[in-house]
Chains A and B, each alone.
Chain A
Amino acid sequence: MTSFDTYLPAILEQAEREAQRDGASTFEVHHLLLAISAVGEGTTTTALESAGLNYQAIQEMFQREFEHSLSTAGVSLASADLPKPTPGPGRPKVGTSVKLALERSLAAVTRKKDLHPAHLLLGVVQAPVGTVPRALALAGISQAELLAGIEQVLADQK
């Protein structure tokens, strides 16, 4: 067992909790990033903090992206005011954006045993489109610089 073998299940469980809190039936890549921040493994925290990102900042940037994307279609979140639904009892399913992030993480190494927690963050931040790059851009955070920071912590591990 490598540290990644225990890290990944912990992150996926936390991402499920993040999705349940959202009332979502699937967990997506933004839940994964929140989970990575919440679990707080050292190297990933270093890379995120170098871009000014902690759990609360990540939560805020995704909320902002959600509201911004709705506003593109002329919808405001404030106009859709209903009480919060009770979350479902079942476990949220893995969303497509999570599968793609995991594929990118795996593609970053030649041997599976070389996987490090920061590779998971790399796979999340490498998303070419979708909520992650959009939320980063809206928050004024350079995706390229964040990726460079992650590459740096990975290089420091060698």
Chain B
Amino acid sequence: MSGAENVSSADPGDQLASVAALRRLADQLEDAAVEQAMRAGWSWPRVAEALGVTRQAVHKKHAKRLIAAGVELRRREND
């Protein structure tokens, strides 16, 4: 979609619910994609840059979960 005008309902309840659902989906996709990238050997800085957030932010949000999942975490590309 290219803008809010493409949301296929004029009802504010539908529009707000679609925002809530998209946030939920985006969170699920981020968790899955970060895990995939780290399993594939990506470093924190690279994942952070790809997501457009700071390294600290991505580390804070995902490190505990990935450590518990047994994923090897790399600080740099050549670790």
Q: Which residues of A contact B (CB under 8 A)?
A: 23-25, 65-66, 69-75, 77, 80, 82-90, 129-131, 134
In the bound assembly, the distance between CA atoms of A77 and B9 in angstroms comes to 18
Mask for B1-41, Cβ within 8 A of A = 1, else 0? 10000111100011111111110110111011111100000
Q: A65-B17, A75-B22, A86-B66 are in contact. List 18 more A-B contacts (CB 8 A).
A: A23-B31, A24-B24, A24-B27, A66-B21, A66-B25, A69-B21, A72-B7, A72-B18, A73-B6, A74-B8, A75-B1, A82-B32, A85-B28, A85-B34, A88-B68, A89-B68, A130-B20, A134-B17
The 10 closest A-B pairs by CB, nearest first: A85-B31, A69-B21, A86-B69, A89-B68, A88-B65, A82-B32, A72-B18, A73-B18, A69-B17, A85-B32
Contact across chains for B32 and A69 when beta carbons are under 8 A apart: no
Which partner residue on chain B sits nearest A90 by CB separation?
B64
- What are the residues of chain B within 8 A of A73 when measuring CB–CB? 1, 6-8, 18-19, 21-22
Across-interface contacts of A129 in B (CB, < 8 A): 13, 16
How many interface residues does B have (CB within 8 Å)? 31
Q: Are B13 and A134 in contact (CB under 8 A)?
A: yes
Q: Which residues of B contact A83 (CB under 8 A)?
A: 32, 35-36
Q: Given contacts A82-B32, A86-B35, A87-B65, are A131 and B17 in contact (CB under 8 A)?
A: yes
Question: SS class of chain B's interface: helix, strand, loop or mixed?
Answer: helix
Interface of A is mostly: loop
> Is there an interface contact between A89 and B29, defined as CB atoms closer than 8 Å?
no
- Interface core residue of A85, A89, A130 (most chain B CB under 10 Å): A85
CB-defined contacts of B68 to chain A, threshold 8 Å: 86, 88-89
Contact with A along B30-74 (1 / 0, CB 8 A): 011111100000000000000000000000000011101100000
Q: Which of B6, B13, B15, B17 is the one whose CB lies under 8 Å from A74?
A: B6
Q: How far is the CA of A77 from the CA of B8 in the complex (A)?
A: 16
